[in-house]
């Protein structure tokens, strides 16, 4: 078997270890392995690794789901409050720190579009329930929103 | 199992994300249950500490669900989630420094008292040894091997996750595999 074959076959080996290949690809791999000890040894290593995956803590899913749900509850601390404050402040010319929002952005991969004003995702029972935009709000409503946010910030 | 169209309980990831955006908590639970394990393995591969990895996964999911409107259906939710987790893990390392020596033992404990028949016990120990060796590789090699072998990602997806090109991801993977084979001899 030539090195060219090895190069192609090695791309398939992780798939061969996990039943992710088409029958044609699998035939090609199995045929190659009959005469290539090197690729056979590599497949053995991959199977070895897969036989002892890191154990995932059993409670993790529950803990994460609870934490996410809690973080989305506006009654405690609206996650969107900072963004909403920033948007409201823009409208009113008031300087509000947006640092937490920037921290979030830093963790989100680049292919995610930045959240535009109209896309603010507001909770059902939030201050602006059912209206995912600040555009329609009166100045009074915006002031109310800012006051609530300031009260929270002080708390 | 590697794309966002895979089904589990009748709903694709895209459908679950859509329901989640309108406040459906069952959809949130389903997405977490479906993807927390991949996220955990990514976090563990980078931080090499179970407790730190668990915190990283939790923070990553919180951030991801806050940014859910920024998620576009053209990327698989799972790889999006894993990328956020990888970024969070690196940020955590930057903030707190690295944990080195004890970490490897935590991640791949050797079976001391194995009740399996002899042959299975040997195979098991070899597998655990391979895992322990994997932990000794440089981060990009370690992560490339893990993402390819455990999660079945393409080199393009791995590249996005380790901040490299597709070609660099391929090189890291094959260097990692070659190094592991040397270490296992
Ligand atoms: Zn070969």
**pLDDT tens-place values along chain B, 185 residues long:** 444 445 456 789 999 999 999 999 999 999 999 999 999 999 999 999 999 999 999 999 999 999 998 888 777 899 999 999 999 999 999 988 765 434 444 444 444 455 568 888 899 999 999 999 999 999 999 999 999 999 999 999 999 988 899 999 999 999 999 999 999 98
Residue of B21, B84, B108 lying closest to A108 (CB–CB): B84
How far does A56 lie from chain B, in Å, by closest CA?
6
- Which domain, by its residues, includes A13? 3-51
- Within the 121-150 window of chain A, which residues sit less than 8 Å (CB to CB) from chain B? 121, 123-124
What is the structure's pLDDT at A78?
Answer: 47
DSSP B70: G
In a domain, A73, yes or no: no
> Which domains, and CATH codes, for chain B?
1-103 (1.10.1740.10), 111-185 (1.10.10.10)
Q: Do A42 and B181 touch (CB under 8 A)?
A: yes
CB of A51 closer than 8 Å to CB of B127: yes
Q: Do B130 and A48 touch (CB under 8 A)?
A: yes
How many domains does chain A contain in total? Answer: 2
CB of B146 closer than 8 Å to CB of B155: no
- The tokens for B44 are 């563990």
How would residue A75 be classed by pLDDT, with cut points 50, 70 and 90? low
What interface predicted TM-score (ipTM) does this complex get? 0.83
The model's pLDDT over A129-145, given as tens digits with 9 standing for 90+, comes to: 333 344 444 555 555 55
In a domain, A127, yes or no: yes
**H/E element, B84:** helix B77-96
How far does B120 lie from chain A, in Å, by closest CA?
11
CB-based contact (8 Å) between A45 and chain B? yes
Q: Which residues does chain A have within 8 Å of residue B37's beta carbon, measured at their own beta carbons?
A: 56
């Amino acid at each position: 078997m030539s090195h060219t074959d090895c190069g192609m076959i090695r791309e398939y080996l992780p798939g061969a270890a996990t039943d992710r290949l088409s029958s044609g690809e699998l035939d090609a791999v199995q045929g190659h392995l009959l005469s290539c000890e090197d690729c056979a040894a590599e497949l053995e290593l991959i199977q070895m690794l897969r036989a002892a995956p890191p154990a995932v803590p059993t409670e993790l899913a529950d803990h994460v789901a609870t934490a996410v749900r809690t973080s989305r509850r506006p009654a405690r601390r609206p996650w969107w409050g900072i963004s909403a404050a920033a948007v409201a402040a823009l409208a009113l010319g008031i300087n509000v720190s947006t640092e937490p929002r920037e921290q979030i952005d830093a963790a989100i991969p680049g292919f995610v579009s930045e959240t535009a004003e109209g896309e603010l995702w507001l909770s059902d029972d939030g201050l602006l329930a059912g209206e995912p935009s600040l555009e329609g709000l009166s100045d009074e409503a915006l002031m109310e929103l800012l006051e609530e946010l300031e009260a929270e910030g002080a708390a | 199992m590697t794309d966002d169209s895979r089904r589990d309980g009748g709903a694709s990831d895209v459908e679950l994300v859509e329901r989640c955006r309108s406040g459906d908590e069952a959809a949130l639970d389903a997405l977490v249950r479906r993807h927390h394990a991949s996220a955990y393995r990514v976090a563990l591969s980078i931080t090499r500490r179970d407790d730190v990895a668990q915190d990283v996964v939790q923070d990553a999911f919180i951030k991801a669900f806050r940014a859910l409107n920024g998620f576009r259906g053209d990327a698989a939710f799972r790889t999006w989630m894993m990328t956020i987790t990888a970024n969070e893990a690196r940020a955590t390392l930057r903030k707190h420094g690295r944990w080195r020596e004890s970490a490897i033992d935590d991640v791949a404990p050797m079976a001391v008292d194995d009740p399996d028949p002899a042959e299975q016990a040997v195979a098991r120990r070899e597998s655990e040894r391979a895992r322990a060796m994997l932990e000794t590789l440089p981060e990009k090699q370690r992560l490339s091997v893990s993402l390819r072998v455990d999660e079945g990602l393409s080199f393009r997806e791995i590249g996005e996750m380790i901040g490299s090109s597709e070609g660099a991801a391929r090189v890291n993977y094959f260097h990692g595999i070659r190094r592991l084979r040397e270490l296992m001899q």
